């Protein structure tokens, strides 16, 4: 009996038959593969590669440090104003009031040093900010001062101080730069000159202070200075050798030796807006800076006519 296949009168052996089948399958496969693929289904979207751009950085956090004593009415105006102003710029920020509670003369620079030590782990940069100076021009940017300190209240726009090296009022500085210059001098009790000494620190460290550019407003309308000078008198007394010492650059004191006790931290809201008040008792080495106390000058009495 023949074991092969009988096809249209031809006889094929099983192995021949298998070879022909395989050959035909191969030819058909090649033919089908060469046909262009046509499909009515919509083309699948190309897979998206989620790349983390080197440009992407989360926004830096700002701590507003306000050296403070006995300016409550000003604070009530300052806080809502700053929330409104900085929210427009989408700056993530917190306000810290560093309130001096001892009975020494006001020491703005030491309060800023203490404020920095308290907040530095929760922010990337600080604004040393007078409580009575409200920015009115939305072009004043409070962005992260990456390349060096930015003096917001420039001499061109500050309502009162117009000398070139003035850096008081409002200054932005990143944490690393504030640490680089060892913070501010602790020698300045009473009003003035601590900001000028800080300017020299920045200069000596090679940090150039930038100021906002293309500001169309001037000294009359860039800031609102809510300081009533008859009610809030500046303490301009000079006692002991204060004048002589504070005119010089201080290479000794700063962040590392500011001496204080923390009396407490209070979370407060003004019109539901949150802020933190740190009550700080500054300590004074009266041998080194006896002018932290300044005896009141004796009241002038007219000699009685006899």
Binding site residues, Mn ion, CB under 5 A: 132, 227
Residue nearest to ligand UDP (CB): 130
Helices within 205-260 (DSSP H only) = 242-246
Per partner kind, with CB cut-offs from 5 to 8 A, the member of Mn ion, ligand UDP, none near residue 69 is ligand UDP
Cα separation, 148 vs 158, whole angstroms: 20
**Could you give the dihedral angle defined by the CA atoms of residues 153, 154, 160 and 164, in that order, rounded to the nearest 10 degrees?**
150
Instruction: Name the site residues for ligand UDP (rule: CB under 6 A).
Output: 66-71, 106, 108, 130-132, 168, 191, 227, 234
258 binds, among ligand UDP, Mn ion, none (CB under 5 to 8 A by kind): none
CB-CB neighbours of 267 under 10 Å: 8
Question: In the complex, what is the shortest distance from the CB of residue 197 to ligand UDP, in angstroms, rounded to a whole number?
Answer: 15
Nearer to Mn ion, 123 or 152 (CB): 152
67 binds, among ligand UDP, Mn ion, none (CB under 5 to 8 A by kind): ligand UDP
With helix as H, strand as E and coil as C, how does 247-269 read?
Answer: CCCCCCCCHHHCCEEEEEEEEEE
Nearest to 128 by CA among 103, 104, 98: 98
Cβ atoms < 10 Å from Cβ of 268: 13
CB of 202 to ligand UDP, least distance (A): 19
First-last CA distance in the chain? 164
Nearest distance, CB of residue 246 and ligand UDP, angstroms: 15
Q: 197 is in the binding site of which of ligand UDP, Mn ion, none (Cβ under 5 to 8 A by kind)?
A: none
- Of the two residues 5 and 263, which places its CB atom closer to ligand UDP in the complex? 263
151 binds, among ligand UDP, Mn ion, none (CB under 5 to 8 A by kind): none
């Amino acid at each position: 009996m023949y074991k092969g296949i009988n096809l249209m009168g031809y006889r094929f052996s099983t192995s021949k038959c298998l070879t022909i089948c395989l050959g035909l399958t191969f030819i058909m496969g090649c033919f089908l593969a060469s046909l262009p693929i046509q499909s009515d289904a919509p083309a699948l979207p190309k897979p998206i590669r989620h790349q983390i751009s080197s440009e992407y950085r989360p926004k830096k956090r700002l701590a507003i440090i306000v050296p403070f004593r006995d300016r409550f009415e000003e604070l009530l105006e300052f806080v809502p104003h700053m929330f409104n102003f900085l929210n427009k710029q989408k700056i993530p920020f917190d306000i810290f009031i560093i309130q001096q509670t001892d009975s020494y003369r006001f020491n703005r620079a030491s309060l800023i040093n203490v404020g920095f030590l308290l907040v530095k782990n929760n922010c990337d940069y600080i604004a040393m900010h007078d409580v009575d100076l409200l920015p009115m021009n939305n072009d004043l940017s409070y962005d992260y001062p990456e390349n060096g300190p930015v003096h917001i209240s420039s001499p061109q726009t500050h309502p009162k101080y117009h000398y070139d090296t003035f850096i008081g009022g409002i200054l932005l500085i990143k944490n690393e730069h504030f640490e680089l210059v060892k913070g501010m001098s602790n020698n300045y009790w009473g009003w003035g000159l601590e900001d000028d000494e800080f300017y020299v620190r920045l200069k000596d460290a090679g940090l150039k202070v930038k100021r906002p550019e293309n500001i169309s407003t001037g000294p009359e309308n860039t800031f609102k200075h809510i300081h009533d000078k008859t009610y809030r008198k500046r303490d301009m007394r000079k006692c002991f050798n204060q004048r002589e010492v504070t005119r010089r650059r201080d290479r000794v004191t700063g962040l590392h030796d500011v001496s204080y006790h923390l009396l407490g931290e209070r979370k407060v809201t003004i019109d539901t807006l949150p802020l933190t008040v740190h009550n700080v008792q500054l300590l004074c080495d009266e041998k080194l800076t006896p002018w932290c106390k300044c005896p009141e000058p004796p009241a002038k009495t007219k000699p009685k006519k006899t």
